[in-house]
């Protein structure tokens, strides 16, 4: 049973990091593309981009917390 909990902890952080990783990559990619097309839009794009990145990173932190909680049940 402890092996299954350890596996669940690994999967929680592994799978929980895929979505935010893709989201951050796509978000920054599109922002850089927009800035490349219109450099004057840098100030306009800065706050929404950072807000979106923060929300994506928050989901990764939630999965890290779940992994820690699950891993704490193993030992």
pTM for the whole structure: 0.73
What Cα–Cα distance (Å) separates residue 32 from each residue in 15, 28, 46?
26, 6, 10
Number of domains in the chain: 1
Q: Which domain CATH number covers 32?
A: 1.20.20.10
Q: Which residue in the block uniquely carries the two structure tokens 């952080």?
A: 13
pLDDT tens-digit series, residues 9-55: 888 888 888 988 898 999 899 999 999 999 998 899 889 889 988 98
What Cα–Cα distance (Å) separates residue 34 from each residue in 8, 20, 37, 47, 56?
39, 21, 5, 14, 20
For residue 25, give its domain range.
2-72
């Amino acid at each position: 049973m402890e092996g299954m909990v350890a596996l669940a902890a690994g999967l929680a952080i592994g799978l929980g990091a895929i979505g935010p990783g893709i989201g951050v990559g796509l978000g920054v990619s599109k922002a850089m593309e927009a800035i490349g097309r219109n450099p004057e839009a840098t100030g306009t794009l800065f706050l929404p981009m950072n807000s979106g990145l923060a929300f994506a990173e928050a989901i990764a932190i939630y999965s890290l917390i779940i992994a820690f909680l699950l891993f704490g049940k193993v030992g």
